[in-house]
Structure formats: structure tokens, C-alpha cells
Structure 1
Amino acid sequence: MRILHILNHTRRLNGHVHAAVDLACAQVRLGHEVYVASEGGDFDSLLKANGIGTFVVNHRRRIPSLVKALIRLNAHVRDLEFDIVHAHMMTSAVISYPICKVRGVPLITTVHNEFERSATLMGLGTRVIAVSDVVGASMKRRGVSASKLKVVLNGTIGSSRSEGRSEEPKPLRSPSILFVGGLHPRKGLPDLFHAFEAIHGAFPAAHLYVVGDGPYRETYKEMVATLECAEAVTFIGSVSDPYPYMVAADVFVLPSHADPAPLVLSEAREARCAVIGSAVDGIPQLLEHGEAGLLVPPRDPAALAGMLRHLLESPERIASWKQKSQLRIDRLTIERVAKETIEVYRSAMPHPKAVALAT
């Protein structure tokens, strides 16, 4: 099958980029011919190393840029005769839709950021992939028919991004609490800061590490500076691979207010962390609804503090939840994601061609 993935860029900044890159590389390993159209970025060399063709399509939301993108993308779809076009963001879906309609190519869209109003436009796809059950239910409420909507839960284990990564744990102070993600309000970091402040007096040896960057970094550093626990909080900043921090951490915390299906939970579980996540969006599903990780209400620092206290008061309890993180972890492999996605593609194709490709 000849597949074209379209996304805004291939920089490390966004989870949807990681998901799309992982999927494209995994599809090559399954024997498909894969291309990526984007503005380019950090992962282009990885894509090329995995035999994936890349070309530039500018996604800037200006009429002249979009017209040029439409013309360029149409030429690629015409010349390479793709079987499937897979759009990963709203702009990609909008510019792909008329081309796919005219050329009779199925358009697949993946809803990565369901919390955005523009996610409704992902319903333009012949098939719409939701990255968790909660996202699927939300898209149904937005009017996407059940017949075109498919859920493919995110997973990262075994991805090409992880090849050759360091397994050496970072030297963290123990007991260590780790956050990995973008530094912006949706991730709920102030809740974690206040929860850590509440338990710091009882566990003065505990240390909180924040890995990631974003527009609120300085705001959050100023916030932490006013707390008594400030000396026990370290902002690591952006790193190319957070896995060595996860391997070293005692407890991984994701206090999000909204998170459709965060890849970081798959990675934290692979690293055998004891995990605490907020019970919102796709987080419960990625934590086996509380069997593979602990769940707390979102926007509730007191509840989060109580759960941190529950773990830190017993090293044996932390060890137990590290073991529980491995429950049904095989569901979080990128191979499973790739195979399920190929089945979605086949369901969208004209019947005779789909049968031919399946044989």
C-alpha cells in the first residue's frame, strides 16, 4: 500500500508529531511504501533513515500559502498515485479533502487534539481515527457517524524513535517524582507544585523533576520560587529523550486537565514507573482504568497530594505499582497501532482494491 501522511511539521514539540512519525516508520516495517508531507523538522533524518520519502508542503494559515500547498500536494498525489492520504491536523485535513475527493483517494484523519474546537473538521475524513475511547465518544457528539469513526489507542513501545536510546538512568535524588511534558496550563503543573508543597514537610528528601519546555516555563519557575519546597524542585528543560529520566524515577505524575491519549504514559509504563495520572480524557484508558496506574481527579491538588503521600510513605507500595505498570502493556506497542491503522485504511478503500491489497 502506498501511504501519504500529512502533518504541519516534523519537529519534536508536539505529541501528534511523535505519533505520526512512529506510525509511518512502523508501517514501513510492515512492508508498505510511506511518504510524509510537512514543513519539515527534527525527525526528517529519522524518516529518511527508515526509507520514508519526504517533501515540503507549507501549512501556514495564509491564503497564498494554502493555495500553494494545495497545488503542490495535488501534484504529489497525482504523480505518486497514493492509495491512502492520512491527515494528522486540521489544516492538513482541509487542504487534503478537495484533492482526495477529486482523485477518489480515501482520506483518513486522526483526532489527536480533541480539546480544540477545530477538531470537528477532522470529520472530513472518509474514516476518522480517535486516539482513545473518550475522543471517539466526543467526535460522535460532534456529529461524526459511528460508521466512519474508529478508535485506535495510542502506543509507542518499539517505535523507531526509541532505537539506540540510552537505558542508563539519570542520577536523580530519591524518592524522585517526575513530570514530562509541555509547560502550559493544559498539563496541570500548578496542581503538582501545590501538591508537592503540601507533602514536602513530611518527606523532605523527596525531589520533583520537571522535564520539558513551553511558554509558561518562566511563570512556573517564578511560582515555585515562592514555595517552601523550591529547593526540592528542578526544572530540567527540554531533552531529546526523556526515557533515562523515566527509568530513574520512583513516581511519574501527569496531572493534566485535558489529554486525549498522551504518549508519555506509554513511555512511563515501559520504563516501569509507578504512575499517577488525572482521571480525564484518555488517561484512564492508558492506565487500564486504575489497574496499571493510580488515578486522581483533575484540578484537585489535595487529592494529588494524598496520592503522593500514599506512595511515598511506603517504598514497597511504590515497587508494587511499578510492577502493576506492566499489566497488559503489550497493548501499547506501535506495531499494534500500525496494524489496526492499516485495517482502518482497508475499510475505507473501494472494495475490489481493498481485497487485492489484502491478498
Structure 2
Amino acid sequence: MKILLLSGKLDSGGAPRVCYQIARHLSERIELTVAFLGGEDGLIEPFERADIPVKRLAERPISLNAARALNRHLHNYRYDLVHTHMMSAGLIGRPVAKMHGIPVIHTIHTNYEMRPIKAKIADVFSATFGDLAISVSESVDKSLPAYYLSKREIVYNCIDIEKIREEASVAWTDLEWTDNLNETAPIVANVARYDPKKRRIDLIDSFQSVLDQFPNAQLVLTGRRVKRQQQLAQRTRELGISANVYFVGFVENPQTVYQHADVIALPSESEGFSIGMLEAMVHRKPVVASKIPAFVDALGEDYPGYVPVRSPEALGETLCSTLTDPSYREEMKEIMADRIERFSGDRAANAYLDLYQAQTRL
């Protein structure tokens, strides 16, 4: 069986990382090629280290050049199935694959209700060309409208549990992002990109109450420096907490941030199914998170560390409780240890392989 995994971009975001996990776990069981339409390509190196072929098709993901390049690629290589990820790959990949008579399935990574209107229209239109749509969580599946004309399944996002633990084993003194931090002071971390939906502004606004109880506490925010980071930095200066907030930039190995943090804060107002949440669970780090469907899918309804969306006051109070109460932290860790295995890479890869085989037999 010959499969093309097609992504829009190949950056370090959640969808390309899921592509990597699928490819890594299935590359010895099926013939698999990874291609991306264009844009950022920061995740190419891990694929190459795993001896998984990767092909860039164009410079921009949504472009006529990308569509033409994919058309040529499918003409030159005979695939049994195309598996698309990200809106741009679905928009271009589903109709082009269908034009070649190739079965195509599409993985939906984001909550439909939170998408821009243009993305909604593009996805609904291209869904008519697909044979199967796969949601990465129950909450994503439930967000799809009744007029989303495609058969549907759910396969939860996946991670490589053992590899993540292995990557985290780096000493504090060997890390660059820790240069200006105090190893003995509490660290609250948020590993994400600068997207307003991540609600980092709420985390910053909550941190003054944390500092009232823990004056030497440190807030660590990762991510490539963009205009949004400058705005958040200005907010820390307005609040007088800039000395305790660290914008550490892009961290090549984010597992080390989880490993050395005391608490992970995830106040997002919307997620498809957060890889960052799963990574925090692997490290059994206490997580304080907004109670949104994607996080409940991961942690369960009874997890004690939820806070309301857009509530800096509740976020600050729960962060303080987590840092103060060892029994509270242990309750969180026990729930994570009980649930994390259901999101392993092997489990998801087997589910995808079953779907590949079912679609190619039709």
C-alpha cells in the first residue's frame, strides 16, 4: 500500500507533528511519502532523520503553483490513497486527488466554530471531494456542521511517549533558554505560539496574584518572536512584572521546558486537540487549563485543575493552589498517568492503518 501524507505547511505546529508521528510509526509497515504544499518547513529535519522522504511542492500552500505541482506529483507517482492535513492541503489535495481517481481522507485538526469564515467555506467545499473526514477529538467532530458532507471518524491526536521522555533528559546547565532563570524558583510555563486564541494575555494578567504569594516565581513563554510578543511584553511592563516574565523565543526542544517547569498553564479559549497538553501529561506536570472541550477530551471531566475561559482571577488562584498544595498536584498527576496511554503514537497509527486499508478496499 502506497500512501501520500500531504500537509499544508511543515512547521512545528500540531498538524505537521501529527503527520510526523503517523509517518514514523507506519513507515516500516507501508510505503509512505510526505509532501507539503509550501510555507514554513522547520519540521523537515526530524523526517529526514527517520529516513522518511519529504517533498516540498511549491512556495505558498494556497496557490495555483501548489495545485499544479500536486497534480504533476500524483500523475508521476501511483498512490493508493492520499491523506491530507490542514485546511490548505484539504482545499487543494481533496479535489486534485479525486480528479486522479485516488481515495482521499482528510484529518481535521481545529474546532470548526473558531475558524475564520473563509476557512469554513473552503473546508466545507473541499469536503465534498473527500471519502472520509477524521476529527482529532470528539469536540472537533461535534463542532462540524450538519452540512459537512463527508463520512466521519475520530482518531485522537497522538504522541511518541517514550521519545518525549527521552528528549526531556537534558540538564538545566546545558540549556540555552534557562540562562537568565533561577533553577530553584517556581516556574510556570506555557509552550505555544503567539496566537490570540491561546489567551496568553490572561496568563500575564493572572501572574501578579501568583507573585503576591511567590515573589520569585517565573513565567516562561516560548514561541518565535512576533508583534504579538511585543504587545504582551508591554503588558508585563504596565503591570510591573516584566522582571518575572521570560519570553525565551523558539525552543528547539520544548520537552525540556515541560521537564523543568513546576506547573504548565494552558488558558486557551479554543483548541482542536492540544499536542502541548499531551506532552505535559507525559511529563506528569500539573496543568492548570481552561475548561474547553479539547482539554476535557484529554484530561477527563473530573480533572481538578480547570478554570473558566478568559478568567485571569480564577487562573491566578488555581496556579497558587497548585504551587502550594502537594496533594492537589498529586491528584492531577495520577489522572494524567491514568489517561496518557490512550494517546500513544502506536495506538493512533494502528487506527489510521485500519482506515487506510478500509478505504483502499472499497
Corresponding residue for residue 175 of structure 2:
none
Distance 1:243 1:348, change over 3 A: same
Q: Secondary structure at the match of 1:235?
A: strand
Q: Match for residue 68 of structure 2?
A: 71
Structure 1 position 131, deviation (Å): 0.9
What is the aligned partner in structure 1 of residue 136 from structure 2?
131
> 1:36 corresponds to which residue?
34
Please state how far the C-alpha of 1:54 moved relative to its aligned partner: 2.1
Q: Secondary structure of the residue that 2:167 maps to in structure 1?
A: coil
> Which residue of 53, 69, 89 maps to 2:86?
89
Alpha-carbon deviation of 1:185? 1.0
2:252 maps to 1:240 = yes
Query: Which of residues 261, 270, 295 is equivalent to 1:249?
Result: 261
Cα distance in 2 between the residues matched to 1:228 and 1:148: 52
Q: How does 1:155-174 map to 2 (within 5 A)?
A: 155-158=158-161, 162=164, 165-168=167-170, 170=172, 172-174=183-185
Contact 1:33 / 1:52 at 8 angstroms: preserved in 2? Answer: no
Q: What's the CA shift string for 1:239-270, capped at 9, x where partnerless?
A: 11111111111111100011111100111111
1: CA distance, partners of 2:314 / 2:88: 39
Between the aligned partners of 1:84 and 1:344, the Cα distance in structure 2 is 11
User: In the TM superposition, what are the counterparts of 1:118-267 in structure 2 within 5 Å?
Assistant: 118-119=119-120, 120-121=123-124, 123-124=127-128, 125-139=130-144, 141-144=145-148, 148-158=151-161, 162=164, 165-168=167-170, 170=172, 172-213=183-224, 214-267=226-279
Q: CA separation in 1, counterparts of 2:271 and 2:56?
A: 29
Residue 23 of structure 1 is matched in structure 2 by: 22
* Cα distance between partner residues in 2 of 1:253 and 1:340: 30
> Does residue 1:100 correspond to 2:111, yes or no?
no
The letter for the 2-side match of 1:78 is: H
Alpha-carbon distance in 2 for matches of 1:279, 1:169: 33
Q: Quick one: which amino acid aligns to residue 102 of structure 1?
A: M
After superposition, what is the alpha-carbon deviation per residue over 1:286-342, rounded to whole angstroms, capped at 9, x for unaligned? 112343x62111111122122112212223432442343212211121111111122
RMSD: 2.3
Paired letter, 2:277: L
Instruction: Render the CA deviation track for 1:148-207: whole Å, top value 9, x for unaligned.
Output: 1111111213487x4962412536343221111012211001111111112321222322
- Normalised to the residue count of structure 2, the TM-score between the two structures is 0.87
The 8 Å contact of residues 169 and 245 in structure 1, kept in 2 or not, is answered as no
2:210–2:217 CA contact under 8 A, matched in 1: no
| TM-score, reference length from structure 1 | 0.87
Distance 1:26 1:295 in 2: 33
Task: Determine if contact 2:168/2:259 at 8 Å carries over to the other structure.
Answer: no
Letter in 1 for 2:170: E
Secondary structure of the corresponding residue to residue 101 of structure 1: helix
The amino acid that maps onto 1:83 is: D
Residues 260 and 215 of structure 1, relative CA distance in 2, 3 Å threshold: farther
Are the structure 2 counterparts of residues 190 and 215 from structure 1 closer, same or farther at C-alpha, using a change threshold of 3 Å?
same
Deviations 1:76-129 (A, max 9, x none): 223321111011122222222233223221111111123324143352421101
SS in 1 for 2:268: coil
Could you tell me whether the CA contact under 8 Å between 2:25 and 2:349 is conserved in 1? yes
| 1:164–1:317 Cα change, 3 Å | closer
Contact 2:189–2:219 under 8 Å retained in 1: yes
Structure 2 unaligned segments of length 5 or more: list them.
173-177
**Residue pair 2:22, 2:349 contacting (<8 A) in 1 also:** yes
Maintained 8 Å contact 1:212/1:237: yes
> In structure 1, what is the Cα distance between the partners aligned to 2:256 and 2:157?
21
Residue 315 of structure 1 is matched in structure 2 by: 326
Contact 1:187 1:255 in 2 (8 A): yes
Moved more, 248-257 or 222-231: 222-231
**Which of 164-173 and 49-58 deviates more?**
164-173
Could you tell me which runs of 5 or more consecutive residues in structure 1 were left unpaired when the two chains were aligned.
Answer: 352-359
After TM superposition, list the pairs within 5 Å mapping 1:281-320 onto structure 2: 281-291=293-303, 294-320=305-331
CA–CA distance in 2 between the matches of 1:275 and 1:101? 43
**Residue matched to 2:51:** 51
> Comparing 149-158 with 111-120, which one deviates more in the overlay?
111-120
Partner of 1:354: none
Structure 1 stretches of 4+ with a deviation exceeding 6 A read: none
